[in-house]
Structure 1
Amino acid sequence: MRYMATYDLMETVRNTNQWLGATAKAIAGYPAIAAFPNPVFQWMGAWGEVTERSFARMVTKPDWGIHSYTCEDGRDHIVTVDTIVERPFGDLVHFHVLGRPEKPRKVLLVAPMSGHYATLLRSTVVSLLPDCEVYCTDWHNARDIPVSAGKFDVEDYTLYLVDFMKELGPQTHVIAVCQPAPLTLAATAYLAEEDPAAQPSSLTLIGGPIDPEAAPTDVTDFGNRVTMGQLEEMMVQRVGFKYPGVGRQVYPGLLQLTSFMAMNAETHSKAFTDQIMRASKGESRDNDRHNRFYDEYLAVMDMPAEFYLSTVERIFKNCEVAKNTFVVAGKRVDIGKITDVAVKTVEGAKDDISAPGQCVAALDLCTGLPDNMKASHLEPDAGHYGIFAGKSWRNNIRPLVLEFIDANQRTKAKAAAE
């Protein structure tokens, strides 16, 4: 599969389906069709509308869509997304609320590089804006990164996080969501040895695979079943001639999306069938629940092949972070070196991606951290998405995380005064 031809073939299939949807929609909307009041044409137009929109979203990076925020003064303040640190594979961005005094809480959201853009955390950002200065990692689509930029694996990812933490300073509170949780823990431990003064005030790990073997899921079972050779042969392709990253080996976003959809094929099939019926009756809207979800869900990005393969091998198969044997730049990272960064874990009882037990394992690894600086929370009715972006996050988890941040911000300030 490691050929540009297969990458271009997938893009051709996507483009053809988008064109078919646009054509069906145009034919059904032709004025002369109104002379034949047949529901078939209504259904065809609805199918075309949903199909064109769906396949078009697969190659488009969503906008953050956070344009303004109503502050305590009752006025709408413009929100700008400012790039603080710019790197080839990802940037550090700040959601700057113009005209608002700087908030004392400084939060770094570490977004996953697992097929979707950082905009997947849009609702998380919005929920934190009222109380925090929010920063976020904004990873780039590998297909747009020239081969001359070099490789990017789990060690490079970790070192990016180290640099971002150094940039923001020790009063930062880091929240890592899903896939980057083990690497964020490793980055904090790396700083504990190399630059202790740059460590963040607290670290919140949400639904991350710190120890994948603690609670097996379909994801971990798949990782254990296949060999690295099989993964490389089946999943890795070279970017085609259409993009700046031509020739770079990647795990294509379209291939990832196929895997995502296959995991819940029946649910997705019903969702699209229902949306087509709603569109045929004129009941669908541009910003309805279906479109809001799938505009984000279908927008996928290519992952650097070396990052994908090293994640599977080192985090899931060898469990290097769980066994405290993870190495960065030739140096073993000892999680036990974390002694003054408060750590909290959050899990969802119904999480079928990072099952309960995988994330809380981080607390056992922090052997140098006193118990009063460790915390954990298990949300009873939440799935994977709900623990960082759904109702469970807004109503239950977010207040607990802010309380945890405040408690350890005070601890840091008190220590500095002493």
Structure 2
Amino acid sequence: MASFRIAGDQHLKGEINPQGAKNEALQILCAVLLTAEPVTIHNIPNIRDVNKLIELLGDLGVKVERLSDSSCRFQADQVDISILDTAAYREKASALRGSVMLLGPMLARFKTGRIPRPGGDKIGRRRLDTHFLGFEKLGAKFNFDSDESGMYNVDASHLQGTYMLLDEASVTGTANVVMAAVMAEGKTTIYNAACEPYLQQLCSMLNRMGAKISGIASNLLTIEGVEKLGGTEHTMLPDMIEIGSFIGLAAMTQSEITIKNCQIPQLGIIPDVFKRLGIRMEFRGDDIYVPAQEHYQIESFLDGGMMTVSDAPWPGFTPDLLSIVLVTAIQAQGTLLVHQKMFESRLFFVDKLIEMGAQMILCDPHRATVIGLNRQQQLKGIRMSSPDIRAGVALLIAALSAKGDSIIDNIEQIDRGYQNIDGRLNAIGAVIERL
């Protein structure tokens, strides 16, 4: 297990480039299985979850040619489905939650699929019902081995287009069903579909490959099945979670940071939420400039009520940034209620922030109240452990703003979602040592 030692009370200054979007990568990379022709993908983040998925594709027989640090050419013309029955596949796929995204493309092209119960963050129950209910409506049949193998087995010998109303607007669920439906016979209509920018990217890529998807960017998708798909070239969006993390980092540490090439129109309400915390920023072309701020004041609602930030399906605020909002509010002036609706144990890391000196109340598994310190007292460095990707970076931000050194253990969680985060932050003034 690796750790970070962080020197606190650091003021950063400079430019930083966000990585390619992790959540987009996990969908886009699986889509290469839909065709035997080459697919070239750019702006791939060099992070653990993505690298493990690329390795898994290689194990299945996909040819992977690395063109640069962030670009690869994939060709799935010699996929060996028998690999799905091996212990090595089961072990690797079970360690990666993104492996569930392999199912849709496998069902569409190879008419069968097998995945183990996937792993990932321990942030509460993350059900897969939406995926399998969608597959079943398309005509697939599945069973779950309740023995030690814990494998989901899916038979999709005849996929037929249909109308479906998803039980929740799941991003991965929608993406998986879309990939299964693009080569199903007839028309598929998906209502209550997720419409995040990453899903829009996937649908646009599939259309360039020859799919017929309409309604992109809405919650009603219509898919006309086609017989086969071809190759394409695709560039991933910058990671909106990293961009939001850097905005919060700049505010907490009184740093002057320019976040480069942000694709600002694709960020939705993310900049507005941070502005409501009192954080100043300027849009300079496609860059976001955040000046060093000694003080920032949380807004109140028009009726004088306490500001609340909560998550919601797109175009609402992404749940992946609530941990960052929570930690950023620690040194604000005012009070903030953070309401995490989608995952019931994602706020439990606040005990570490309280130990550092934050004024917080964990109301229940879904809500936490932050009483801003307004720089009247500084957090103090402690030793702590990263429970998941987003909480890990929130703790890193707290440690950089604290007095004294901190150590964060289990940084493998951070590495799953943030590319060379210590190196990139050290380049603009942080002092982070990897142990």
- Give TM-score, length-normalised by structure 1: 0.25
Question: Between Structure 1 and Structure 2, which shows a larger proportion of helix residues?
Answer: 1
